[in-house]
Amino acid sequence: MDGDGGGGKRRRTGSVSSNGNDDNNYNIDASLLEALEKSSQSNIEVLDQRTLKKLVLSFERRLKENIEARLKYPDHPEKFAETEVDLHEELEKLKVLAGGPDLYPDLVNLNTIPSILGLLSHDNSDIANDVVQLLQDLTDEDVLEDSDEPARVLVDSLIENNVLELLVQNLQRLSDSDPDDMTAVYNTLATIENLIEVKPSVAELVCEKTKLLRWLLGKIKIREFDSNKQYASEILAILLQNSTANQKRLGQMNGVDVLLQAVATYKSKDPKSSDEEEMLENLFDSLCCLLMPLENKERFVKAEGVELMIIIMKQKKSAYGSAIRALDFAMTKYPPACERFVDVLGLKTAFAAFMGKIPMSKKNKKERYQEDLEERVISLIASLFGGILRGTRRERLLSKFVENECEKIDRLMELYMRYSDRVTTEAERMNNLELDDLEMDEEEKYNRKLESGLYTLQLIAVILGHLWCSEHSQMKARIELLLKQQKLTKKDVKDILQEYHDNIGDLDGPDEKERAQGRIQKFISAF
């Protein structure tokens, strides 16, 4: 994530102190920076329990003075302004603790966390923003890299003291037009990301306890691009990637529709910068995660998501590959999406991609991009065969493999050979590794083969199975001819299908596993 919105915080010293003495405030900040620089250049041994206690006592004293002054002179800001400058300085000094994460358990034991977090609700937004910056520094992944246990102690204490609720409440009051507030938005999102990094369960907790998802959707709805919209899209993808609960929650909040509207902006234009391009990828990542639960696939079809993805493909802009990926997610194990795809004439567009007729640009000339796209299209066609089992739609799908003298079967066998060679090469490599005493169990071997292209090879074999079982004499003859030309037999295809059959998991329940194995067994018997 490129944080151009969060770098170099520019303090509005005038709003910290209303006595108009900006030069004086600037000097305070400058001398403070100098002191911090000196302390960071000095030996890290200086940062010990004694230093920590001094910092905490000084902070607590300034906090008490500020509270008392505000209570005593609520209508005279000039009389408590100086205590606010002092408090700002103390919060700046506390940032030095990021240099000694091993002291975090001591910081928690000193009961300082509630005092720090209480300032997130401070009437002076600059003070609240200081706290957000401090939290981001303390939880930064570079700081916590080798400090797992101290990091967990700190994060647990922050969560117990309602950091998630306070951070999101703070987000909701920040403005999109104020530079300091935009920086605070970035720092808040960075802190939430850091907390998830240390404790992955925070991803669900923050959505359960706060209105963060709603805030993120609101940010994504804004048409203008900025770095915080980019970061909001990244956080949304993180929250959705491993959480069915969050996927369902966002679906109920009209999330499918919001994401479709956000990506629709790019149906006939490309992002203007690499940051905007990254945001678009994040939006599609979020959309694909959102399409995991069945009810969201239904929402996608109702919101005309299938039609939008086909339009994006036809426009041949940079979102082309992402649209294929979204369709693949929508159509996996969901026949209504497959039926809609055929009804709105998606076959022509999909098979153009299958035949390698994809738009070329600097981005997608990269080999890995081409392969990803190839694998997605194969998965999409396998989903079509799995979702459309009979009727005129099935006939239209099958007829694609007959047209132009069975050119699509030729292409299928070309891909079969390429992926088969790749899997064979990986198997040989693993055998050589084993000779070097690096033994792998069967599961690890199988996973390595899947990563090297076995899964795509299995899907190609499944498509061949569907074609073979259609009892179409022209297609069967073509498949047999091509197998013979490559010195292969039907047994080679059967072996791939058998390995696929034997490794089907029961993630969707034992009944679904049995049904899936039954379908593959039918192909094995037919061959």
- Asked if residue 76 lies in contact with residue 132, where contact means CB atoms within 8 angstroms, the answer is no
- Min mean pLDDT across 191-195, 418-422, 446-450 is at 446-450
Q: Which DSSP state fits 454? A: I
Question: Residues with Cβ < 8 Å from 28, sequence gap 6 or more?
Answer: 13, 85, 89
CA dihedral 26, 28, 34, 40 (to 10 degrees): -120
pLDDT in tens, 507-516: 878 888 888 8
pLDDT in tens, 371-383: 889 999 999 999 9
- How many Å apart are CA 158 and CA 117, to the nearest integer? 8
Per-residue confidence (pLDDT) for residue 30, from 0 to 100: 54
Q: What is the CA radius of gyration of the chain?
A: 29
Per-residue confidence (pLDDT) for residue 365, from 0 to 100: 58
Per-residue confidence (pLDDT) for residue 46, from 0 to 100: 75
The pLDDT of 360-370, averaged and rounded, is 66
The pLDDT of 307-335, averaged and rounded, is 94
The pLDDT of 331-342, averaged and rounded, is 96
Greater model confidence, 24 or 220? 220
- Min mean pLDDT across 2-16, 114-128, 233-247, 474-488 is at 2-16
Question: Residues with Cβ < 8 Å from 269, sequence gap 6 or more?
Answer: 317
Angle in degrees, CA 507, 510, 511, rounded to 5? 115
The pLDDT of 323-333, averaged and rounded, is 95
Please spell the DSSP secondary structure of 494-521, one letter per residue.
HHHHHHHHHT---TT-HHHHHHHHHHHH
CA 310 to chain centre: 23
pLDDT in tens, 32-78: 555 555 544 444 447 889 999 999 999 999 999 999 999 998 888 88
What fold, for 1-210? Leucine-rich Repeat Variant (1.25.10)
User: Where would I find the beta strands (DSSP E) of 263-348?
Assistant: none
Token readout for 276 is 């905007």
Q: Is 254 left (phi over 0), alpha (psi -120 to 50) or beta?
A: left
CA 232 to chain centre: 11
Per-residue confidence (pLDDT) for residue 371, from 0 to 100: 85
Question: Residues with Cβ < 8 Å from 399, sequence gap 6 or more?
Answer: none
Per-residue confidence (pLDDT) for residue 3, from 0 to 100: 41
- The per-residue b/e assignment along 221-245, b for 16 or more CB within 10 angstroms, e otherwise, is eeeebbbbbbbbbbbbbbbbeebee
- How many Å apart are CA 397 and CA 382, to the nearest integer? 11
Token readout for 369 is 């991009």
pLDDT in tens, 457-477: 999 999 999 999 988 889 999
Answer whether residue 489 shows pLDDT above 90. Answer: no
Question: Residues with Cβ < 8 Å from 250, sequence gap 6 or more?
Answer: 213, 217, 240, 290
CA nearest neighbour of 283 among 295, 267, 299? 267
Q: The dihedral of CA 387, 389, 390, 392: what is its sign?
A: positive
pLDDT in tens, 80-115: 999 999 999 999 999 999 999 999 999 999 999 999
Question: Residues with Cβ < 8 Å from 305, sequence gap 6 or more?
Answer: 256, 260, 326, 330
pLDDT class of 438 with cuts at 50, 70, 90: low
Per-residue confidence (pLDDT) for residue 348, from 0 to 100: 94
pLDDT class of 366 with cuts at 50, 70, 90: low
pLDDT class of 429 with cuts at 50, 70, 90: confident
CA nearest neighbour of 385 among 370, 373, 396, 372? 396
- Asked if residue 55 lies in contact with residue 93, where contact means CB atoms within 8 angstroms, the answer is yes
Per-residue confidence (pLDDT) for residue 450, from 0 to 100: 87
- How many Å apart are CA 118 and CA 477, to the nearest integer? 76
Answer whether residue 260 shows pLDDT above 70. Answer: yes
pLDDT in tens, 261-320: 999 999 989 999 999 999 999 999 999 999 999 999 999 999 999 999 999 999 989 899
- Asked if residue 130 lies in contact with residue 92, where contact means CB atoms within 8 angstroms, the answer is yes
Average pLDDT value over all residues in the chain: 88
Answer whether residue 23 shows pLDDT above 50. Answer: no
Please spell the DSSP secondary structure of 436-492, one letter per residue.
TT----HHHHHHHHIIIIIHHHHHHHHHHHHHHHTT-HHHHHHHHHHHHHTT--HHH
Question: Whose structure tokens read 């005092």?
Answer: 115
Per-residue confidence (pLDDT) for residue 435, from 0 to 100: 55
Question: Residues with Cβ < 8 Å from 13, sequence gap 6 or more?
Answer: 22, 25, 26, 28, 29, 85
Query: Percent of the chain having pLDDT more than 70?
Result: 88
Q: The dihedral of CA 138, 139, 143, 148: what is its sign?
A: positive
Helix axes 305-315, 335-343, angle to 10 degrees: 50
CA nearest neighbour of 241 among 304, 284, 198, 208? 284
Per-residue confidence (pLDDT) for residue 64, from 0 to 100: 95
Answer whether residue 340 shows pLDDT above 50. Answer: yes
- Asked if residue 350 lies in contact with residue 342, where contact means CB atoms within 8 angstroms, the answer is no
Under DSSP, is residue 298 helix (H, G, I), strand (E, B) or coil?
helix
Per-residue confidence (pLDDT) for residue 44, from 0 to 100: 42
- How many Å apart are CA 21 and CA 23, to the nearest integer? 6
Query: Percent of the chain having pLDDT more than 90?
Result: 68
Greater model confidence, 17 or 376? 376
- Asked if residue 240 lies in contact with residue 246, where contact means CB atoms within 8 angstroms, the answer is yes
The pLDDT of 142-150, averaged and rounded, is 84
CA 380 to chain centre: 22
Instruction: Give residue 136's identity as a one-letter amino acid code.
Output: Q
The pLDDT of 396-417, averaged and rounded, is 95
- How many Å apart are CA 415 and CA 16, to the nearest integer? 66
